[in-house]
Chain A
């Protein structure tokens, strides 16, 4: 069984938002909404500053509060790779998932359903990378299968230091940030 994950090298990321734009055009995300976004976090005092730049999105958690809070079963784990998806037809737009997500990764699409990053599963199933990964001018984003020890993502998590977001939430997220 594959387990998809995204690994993002914060050392290379310049926060240019190309990932956000590419997602928007690839997935026709409506004006005023985004499925991914950039966070810049600065620590320290001028001029001794450290800056972490992160491209953030749904973490496709192993233990997803959005799936467990969904009253209709619209939010679910996909058959492949543990990707968390929303079945638009079953979603009633109740926002329980939006409230439960510790990453604030979901929004209600103007058409009435909960929407968020899909890891571009429509591309991945064809052998392509997610749009954000394939557009990145700095090549700072990696996508692959954690079950495969030879994948870029497995190797990077072995060789580099990394962290995840809100580990205290106990969601077991699958977007990793190299530092």
Chain B
């Protein structure tokens, strides 16, 4: 496709650090490595402290699990871990509940009747994996290896990815791109030539001005970001929150801009208009690094605060004042890129506008803006080369979405499964992602699944997606297994280990074991030359000057501190074609897109309908933690936020249950009303992940409503195939 290569897209500009020699300069061992114990029989008496890293979300915080007389007691942050700083978030603290979940999957299951009917028979691992391998061999013969797709979320998917690549399929995807952070990565890559990555490279704690557009930090509980947000609050940073809802973050803000949903682009253009017109931008930085600044300035010349006022509902005075506030604090002014950015279908361009605003403020590469991250280089295990696929991936035929390079479009694979274009997809292996809640338009997902010859789901609990499987494989929780190493790029390089803290209670198995056994049954045993994961981990760690023994004691080992800011001698590097910040994008122009972002008007709710908005609660991750008995106690159902005036008009009272109906006639499960001043009158809001309809997940069955069920419409981002989901409108339905 275009000049953007996969390798470049994936790279994070900060250098990787090798660990040779680092093993000798490690600080003190974690207190957790001490064991106060005496052995009586097989149970260890007393308290064992075992370091590991969390898996309740993808942040992967370093933690220390406490086992008391052989029983899992509690889990705390590992003080040596740069992500947790010794403090886990509520989900991490409550993560131990996953092991006590009464509804956990216990043994492999095979479907007894038609797909989706949720009737099962328990089988042995040998039977289950034998069945899957036979089907996969048949698919390979009939359609080629590319007809097998893997949907996988989180580090636990690494070994399944390896098996699927060895089998010969490049169709490996996760909803985290096209249903979440994809537009943001594309927007920033087009501007700075680099992506945000995960954890985001935002220097929130040093920001003097922090701008949040829809980001609800504090409700969205990505641990280090929230810790840094609290530091910014304590340091009296000037916080500007743009949200149709008065979020928790809004309550900490100096300015709250209650924007009309769908109009953020207009506000961003108006802010840039003020900053350029009043010459408030970081001139030295812009002059040094700009490409196409003049054309950019000309393009946004008409986007004045007065122009933006009727669009956004934000007073021009406030637009000017907040623009000046950002400029006053530059370059320590951070306009946060957000994470879940699939809102309206022009999200990559909106993200690009955010990138450009940061560029004007000179914050990319700067303290209080975006730092240059570092990661640990641990060589991969020496495997045979994967077979090359002639067909390429099926998610994006003819590069219809030219800027989706680097990651696959999950909804693109779903479409290929439905249409058979560019070629048939006949098998899905789904690892740790509840596709019924993570992909928009359930009917399309079901339609795709019904086209499959093989549908396998690996999960810890009987989530909704397991109900659609032919074979369900029960996984050990993260506290019961090893996983691959975490070497995510961050403020400093580090490596952390996940190790088992307790045994699995039944016949659950770790993902690495399943992936290895499956490969062996497929005749691909040569791709798993190691006997067990300890050997795999130790081999990798030793090649980097560490060892499994060290990691089992410490949990986390940090690399040397490196300068991470421009002002400390690390100039930003722009991997764009021009080598500069692309204020005007020739790449976009070549593909027929706006080279400078423009405002597009989005559809508004019809009379009597409200825009459905959704977000996060601090105590749950996606749709995967609702049955955890500890976290369920914190929040067992979601609520529908409705503005007080609307509630009065419709006779709704807080605490009463209603249903929602969208414009396609889909009716939700019942949900409790929260009548509040804290939201605009043209939208309603709920926390994502509830209203689950898996009967086998008894504790959370039909608790609250599912936003996903109501997301039948989505606008596809023409740049990268993301699915904008804030385009559904709902009205109230009273319970019969």
Contacts and interface: CB of A to CB of B under 8 A. Distances in A.
Q: Do A and B come from one complex?
A: yes
Contacts, number: 120
B630 to A, nearest CB: 6
Nearest to A24: B630
A13 to B, nearest CB: 8
Given A11-B233, A11-B252, A15-B618, A137 B87 contact: yes
B89 interface: yes
A10 to B, nearest CB: 9
Given A16-B226, A137-B227, A21 B630 contact: yes
Contacts of A139: 87, 227, 230
Contacts of A16: 89-90, 218, 221, 226, 618-619
A139 B234 CA distance: 10
B219 A14 contact: yes
B719 interface: no
B378 interface: no
A22 B95 CA distance: 11
B88 interface: yes
B677 A45 contact: yes
Give the interface SS of chain B, mostly helix, strand, loop or mixed.
mixed
Contacts of B230: 12, 14, 137-140
Interface in A13-33: 14-18, 20-22, 24-26, 31-32
Chain A CB count within 10 A is highest, among B256, B258, B618, for B618
Interface residues of A, number: 32
Interface in B139-194: none
Nearest to A25: B74
Contacts of B90: 16-18, 20-21
A18 B634 CA distance: 10
B619 A49 contact: no
Contacts of A31: 629-630, 633
A14 B233 CA distance: 11
Contacts of B221: 16, 137
B200 interface: no
Contacts of B631: 21
A32 B246 CA distance: 29
A47 B241 CA distance: 12
A111 to B, nearest CB: 18
A25 B677 contact: no
B114 interface: no
B94 A21 contact: yes
B243 to A, nearest CB: 10
Contacts of B75: 25
A84 interface: no
B680 A46 contact: yes
A46 B226 contact: no
Interface string B206-223: 000000000001110101
Given A11-B252, A46-B677, A135 B226 contact: no
A50 B643 CA distance: 16
Given A31-B629, A136-B87, A20 B634 contact: yes
B472 interface: no
Given A14-B230, A46-B679, A137-B88, 5 more contacts: A11-B234, A16-B218, A17-B635, A50-B251, A139-B87
11 contacts: A12-B233, A18-B87, A18-B89, A21-B90, A21-B94, A42-B676, A42-B678, A47-B258, A51-B248, A51-B678, A138-B230
Q: Which 3 A-B pairs have the closest CB atoms?
A: A14-B218, A138-B230, A51-B251
Interface of B: 73-77, 87-90, 93-94, 96, 217-219, 221, 223, 226-227, 229-230, 233-234, 246, 248-252, 256, 258, 618-619, 629-631, 633-635, 643, 676-680
